[in-house]
Structure 1
C-alpha cells in the first residue's frame, strides 16, 4: 500500500475515521481527501432507476429502444437487464482495442458512443435476460437511458436524487480528470512504470465509476443503500431481492443485482481504477459499514485489489459470528 483512508460506522454512528501513509508522496494522507470512487456509483444508477420507475417516468421492463433505438437488440434489452448485468452485451473494458487506446493515452476522454462501439465490436455473450455476465458496458448504457428518460445529465440526476438528499456535499460525477484539493493521489505500475495516475480520465469508466468523493461521503451512501433510505418500501424490496439467482454461478445467498454484490447479509462493492483500490461493505443485520480506499505501492500487483483482505479482516474482527466471505 502507498496510503489508505478508511471509515467504520455502526448505524449512523462513526466508530473510526482515519488515514495512513502518504499520498501524494511526502504528504500525509488524511480522511478528507478526494478520491476516485469507482464501482459504488453503480447502485446509485439503480437507485435513480427505481425512483423513476416508481414515479412512472420509465418502466424497469420496457425495451430501451424507447431511448436508444439504434442500439443493437434494443427491442429485447430492458433497464432491469442493464442494472443486473443480464443483457449479454460484451464488456468493452476487456476489449483489447480499448486497453490499447486507454494505456496509450490514459487522459483521453471517452464518449458513450465510443464505448458502445467497443462493446458492440464483439458478439453478444447470450440472449438478453438469459444469463449473467458483469459488464461495464451495461452501466454506460443505463446512464444514457437515465439521462434521456429524466431529461437531466447524469451528474445532475444523481445530485438531485442522491447527493443532496443525503448531504453528500463532497461528491460529484466527473467528465474530466479534475480532482479537488486535498486529493488522495493514485499510483500504479499498470503501464510498466510506477507513476502518478491521479489524473487519468475517469470517463474510461463512464457512468460506472466516474465519481469523485470522500470516504465519509461513500460511507453515507453505503448506509443509505443498505437501508433503502432513498426508496419506497416496494422498490427497496425489489433492489434487495435475489432475482438473478440461478443465472450462471449466482445463488440466493451470493448474487449480483442492481449494481451490488450480495454475500449473505453483506452488501459488497470492490472498485479498482488507475491506482485506486477500494472496498465498501454493509451488513444488513448489524448495520455495520466498512469503507476502505488505498493507493498502490511500487511493487503492488495492479491486478489485485489489496483492500479486500484488509476489509475482510476488519469485518471478521467486528462480527466474528458473521464475517464477510469475500472470496
Structure 2
C-alpha cells in the first residue's frame, strides 16, 4: 500500500509498492520559506500561525529530514486548532537554483485514488452501482471477474496482478515517457495473469484495481474521468487548482521533478512525462491549499451519504503491521486518514488526524529514495514526532 517506488526487474513501479513500516526520523537545523495559509472550519482562524517553539521544532525536523533523504525540495503544510505551519524548503530546479514555493502545482500520484474512490461511491449513493457488484458487470476479460467485486477493487483485496510491475509495461513506458496509454491498454498488460490470492483473502496493493474502477465510473456515468472529477468533486469543494490531466500538460508554477526511473537508471527530469499510464490510479495534479481542503473533506465524507462514508472508512488491517489499515481507497496510519502518492519525479502525503483535528500535506519534487524508509515517509514521521508524538506516521514512501 505505499505507496512508494520500487523496481521489479526493469518494470516501472512508480505509484505502488510493498506495504512497509518507516523508521522514525528526527533531527535539527534548517529553515524554510513560506507563509500562513488561509483557515478553514477545522483550523485556527485565518492567519494564525503555530507558536514559535513548535514552528522552530518543525523547521529543524524538516530540514534534517530533507538533508537525510537528499530530496531537492519539499513543500509542507500543517493546520490545526493551534494555528498553521506552511513552508517551502530547498530547490525547485537544480539547474537554476530556483527555490521551492508554497503555491506550486505538484503531481500527486496515488492520492488520485481517493478521488476515484469518491467518484465510485457517489455512484453508489445514486443507486447506479453496488459495491458488491462483480467487475464482470462492467468490464469484460478480467481474470475471475465474476468473483471480484467493486469493493474488493477499492479495498485492494482483489488478488489481481499490478500492471506497474509488468516487465513489458516498464519497457514500453521507458521507451517513450511522454507517450499516451489508454486504460484498456494498461489492464491488458496483466490480462490472463492468475490471481495472487482468492478475492477478499488479504490486502495487496495493485494499481490495476483503480484503473478498472475508473473504467467503471466512466462507463456508468457516460463521461470522462476528467469531467466527472471536476464536476462532482473539485467544483463543489472549490478546488480550483486541482485537475485530472489528459496529457503531459502541467500548470505553472511548478517544480522540476527528479527520478532515476530512466532507461539507464541515471538521474533524469520527469517533469513533462505523461501521467496517462497512472490514469485513475495516479495521474492527478494539485496544490498545497487544495489538498488541505481535500484531506478534511475526504475524512468528513462531505460529498457522500453517511452510510457510504462509514463503509469507506471501515479499515481492514494490514497483516503484520500494527496500526495500519486500508479502507476503500483510503488508509489509516496510526490514526492519520488519507493517502500517499509517488510517480516519477514527485511524492506526496495527504492526511488528516481526527483525534487532534490536524491536517498534514507534504509535496516533494523527487521520487529518488536514498533510504529504505522513503523520502516522504521520513518527512511525515519527522513532522508527526513534533505535532502528534502519540500518532506517529509509520508508513514508508
Under a length normalisation based on structure 2, what TM-score does the superposition of the two structures give?
0.76
Q: Contact (CA 8 Å) 1:139, 1:207: kept in 2 or not?
A: yes
Q: Distance in 2 between matches of 1:5 and 1:289?
A: 14
Q: Contact (CA 8 Å) 1:45, 1:142: kept in 2 or not?
A: yes
Deviation of the 1:281 alpha carbon: 2.3
Alignment-derived partner of residue 166 in structure 1: 237
2:145 to 68, 71, 74: 74
Alignment of 1:52-63 (within 5 A): 52-63=123-134
Alignment of 1:191-202 (within 5 A): 191=262, 192-202=265-275
Q: Contact (CA 8 Å) 2:312, 2:330: kept in 1 or not?
A: no
Deviation of the 1:322 alpha carbon: 2.9
Task: Give the 4+ runs in structure 1 shifted more than 6 A.
Answer: none
Count of aligned residue pairs for this structure pair? 322
Q: CA 1:103–1:129 in structure 2 vs 1: closer, same or farther (change >3 Å)?
A: same
* Partner SS, residue 182 of structure 1: coil
* Partner SS, residue 210 of structure 2: helix
Q: CA RMSD in A?
A: 2.2
Q: Contact (CA 8 Å) 1:64, 1:78: kept in 2 or not?
A: yes
Alignment-derived partner of residue 351 in structure 2: 281
Alignment-derived partner of residue 294 in structure 2: 221
* Partner SS, residue 173 of structure 1: coil
Q: Contact (CA 8 Å) 2:114, 2:339: kept in 1 or not?
A: no
Kindly indicate whether residue 69 of structure 2 is the aligned counterpart of residue 21 of structure 1.
no
* Partner SS, residue 280 of structure 2: coil
* Unaligned runs of at least 5 residues, structure 2: 1-70
Alignment of 1:84-95 (within 5 A): 84-95=155-166
Q: Distance in 1 between matches of 2:138 and 2:253?
A: 39
1:260 to 330, 334, 337: 330
* Partner SS, residue 236 of structure 1: helix
Q: Distance in 2 between matches of 1:205 and 1:62?
A: 24
Alignment-derived partner of residue 97 in structure 1: 168
Could you list the per-position Cα deviations for residues 209-240 of structure 1 after superposition, in whole angstroms to 9, with x for gaps in the alignment?
11111121112111111222222221111111
Under a length normalisation based on structure 1, what TM-score does the superposition of the two structures give?
0.91
Could you list the per-position Cα deviations for residues 259-286 of structure 1 after superposition, in whole angstroms to 9, with x for gaps in the alignment?
1221232124221111112222211211
Alignment of 1:61-210 (within 5 A): 61-120=132-191, 122-191=193-262, 192-210=265-283
* Unaligned runs of at least 5 residues, structure 1: none
Q: Distance in 2 between matches of 1:156 and 1:249?
A: 40
